[in-house]
């Protein structure tokens, strides 16, 4: 798919679909006025009759008079009140409009009227690009048809470039999360990461089973024991353009399928557990975008890849595992496996002396209970680092919220047989006790944990996205790294 910025004279050349935004104060909009004049006062009477919704992300498809408009198909997407719209509007409005016109093959789709600040422009492009993929990976009859060319009228070419790279990286995350578990497992994830490393110029190191044993990654290996698919640990290194800067470490949970182990999940809870590797996919997407955009900061990406299954060798309740750090862990629930994988990954990240660490994990249902399906839980040992991430997310309209990390929560994971146990006491504060478990493996390095269990995978479609993987937090982290 070709993506380009077009001159401001967007009305004189034909296209297959024309996308414009409509806010509550549409009468003052020059682009709408130009289309109205070109079509012989066709558009404004429709708007005046209230036949087009200005509510955010509502798309109205109209058929313009032939030979009077650049396209006979006009998609008008609502953006609410000008100057007061939520920060998520540019991304979602563009994605909603593109999804509405992708029901058929179209050669050229032109987006008009959504140009704005640099942040808004790259959000629009990223939204439009990311919308061009869905979960119908194996359907004979596709429901989404990406256009041959996407044009953005009046956009700065650099913002189009950034938005395209970010949007394609979101597409990557969505595709990896949507792949079924018989296609996506530790070894095939490595194949995907190798392709990204070659495309983006990122060095990659793959730890196989023997190296994981040699590195004493006992927590990760304990989870992996039940599967015939061997585990992997990936270390990806982006050098950055300022090698004097200390790296940031990105750590991702990559449980490519989670049955719950002997603490087995019910069928309904297991069906979407192909998405339990969304944290690792998110790290890979961020690494790709950061490298292609040549951000200054060096980045280390560490991804732990396992399947959590049941067999005669699967880890059991009551087992004691020894993590790479030397800390011993009592297993009280085999479905609390992601934190065990992350324990060793976080310890590996420390080997590279990062200035800061952030991990991404579909870690707990408790976080979804607390914050819902659309909000990422933030937990940290450093409020400044947590605030930096939250500020970047706010600027992108990606929703996050901090949860408290009071010291007394650590008492709930204290072990009786080993140093710590892998769950807290009972159901209460489960997202926080999981984070307190992870905190045991980061030392004094500033670290923030992102529990993306809610937003990483959508059970149903929305105007701006198909159901399935979402690529949530890729945009936010890239905005942070670009600064």
Residues involved in catalysis: 265, 339
Q: How far apart are CA 130 and CA 164, in angstroms?
A: 9
Q: How far apart are CA 74 and CA 22, in angstroms?
A: 12
Residue with tokens 């339990």: 276
Residues 398 and 404 sit within 8 Å (Cβ to Cβ):
no
Q: How far apart are CA 163 and CA 187, in angstroms?
A: 30
Q: Is the dihedral of CA 443, 336, 471, 234 positive or negative?
A: positive
CB atoms within 10 A of CB 416: 6
Q: How many CA atoms lie within 13 A of 377 on its CB side?
A: 27
Q: Could you tell me whether strands 149-153 and 2-6 are parallel, antiparallel, or unpaired per DSSP bridges?
A: parallel
Q: How far apart are CA 316 and CA 337, in angstroms?
A: 11
Q: How far apart are CA 75 and CA 73, in angstroms?
A: 7
* Of 194, 261, 8, 206, nearest in space to 113 by CA: 8
Q: Distance between alpha carbon 409 and the CA centroid of its chain, in Å?
A: 29
Q: Is the dihedral of CA 9, 10, 11, 12 positive or negative?
A: positive
* Farthest-apart Cα atoms in the chain, separation: 81
Q: Listing from the earlier edge strand, what are the strands of the sheet with 17-23?
A: 2-6, 149-153, 108-112, 17-23, 73-80, 59-63
């Amino acid at each position: 798919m070709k993506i380009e910025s077009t001159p401001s004279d967007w009305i004189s050349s034909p296209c297959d679909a024309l996308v414009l935004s409509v806010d509550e104060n549409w009468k003052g909009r020059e682009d709408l006025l130009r289309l109205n004049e070109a079509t012989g006062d066709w558009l404004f009477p429709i708007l005046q009759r209230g036949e087009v919704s200005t509510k955010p992300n509502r798309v109205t498809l109209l058929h313009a008079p032939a030979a009077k408009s650049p396209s006979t198909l006009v998609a008008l997407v609502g953006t609410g009140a000008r100057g007061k719209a939520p920060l998520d509007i540019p991304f979602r409005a563009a994605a909603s409009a593109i999804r509405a016109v992708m029901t058929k093959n179209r050669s050229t789709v032109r987006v008009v009227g959504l140009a704005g600040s640099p942040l808004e422009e790259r959000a629009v492009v990223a939204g439009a690009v990311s919308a061009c993929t869905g979960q119908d990976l194996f359907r004979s009859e596709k429901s989404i048809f990406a256009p041959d060319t996407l044009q953005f009228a009046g956009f700065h070419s650099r913002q189009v470039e950034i938005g395209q790279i970010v949007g394609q990286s979101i597409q990557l995350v969505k595709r990896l999360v949507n792949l079924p578990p018989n296609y996506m497992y530790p070894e095939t994830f490595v194949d995907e990461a190798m392709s990204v490393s070659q495309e983006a110029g990122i060095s990659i190191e793959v730890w196989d089973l023997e190296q994981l044993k040699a590195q004493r990654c006992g927590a990760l290996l304990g989870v992996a024991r039940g599967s015939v698919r061997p585990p992997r640990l990936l270390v990806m290194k982006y050098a950055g353009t300022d090698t004097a800067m200390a790296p940031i470490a990105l750590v991702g949970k990559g449980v490519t399928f989670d049955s719950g182990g002997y603490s087995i999940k019910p069928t309904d809870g297991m069906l979407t557990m192909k998405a339990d590797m969304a944290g690792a996919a998110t790290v890979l997407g961020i690494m790709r975008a950061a490298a292609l955009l040549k951000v200054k900061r060096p980045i280390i990406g560490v991804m732990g890849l396992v399947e959590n299954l049941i067999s005669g060798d699967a880890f059991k309740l009551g087992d004691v595992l020894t993590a790479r750090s030397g800390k011993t862990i009592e297993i009280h629930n085999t479905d609390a496996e992601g934190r065990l994988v992350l324990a060793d990954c976080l310890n590996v990240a420390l080997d590279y002396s990062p200035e800061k660490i952030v991990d991404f994990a579909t870690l707990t249902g408790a976080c979804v209970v607390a914050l819902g399906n659309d909000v990422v839980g933030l937990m940290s040992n450093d409020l400044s680092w947590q605030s930096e991430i939250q500020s970047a997310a706010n600027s992108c309209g990606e929703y996050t919220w901090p949860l408290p990390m009071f010291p007394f929560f650590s008492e709930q994971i204290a072990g009786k047989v080993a140093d710590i146990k892998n769950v807290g006491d009972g159901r209460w504060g489960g997202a926080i006790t999981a984070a307190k478990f992870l905190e045991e493996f980061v030392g004094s390095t500033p670290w923030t944990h992102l529990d993306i269990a809610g937003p990483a995978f959508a059970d149903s479609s929305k105007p701006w996205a198909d159901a399935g993987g979402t690529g949530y937090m890729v945009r936010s982290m890239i905005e942070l790294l670009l600064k």
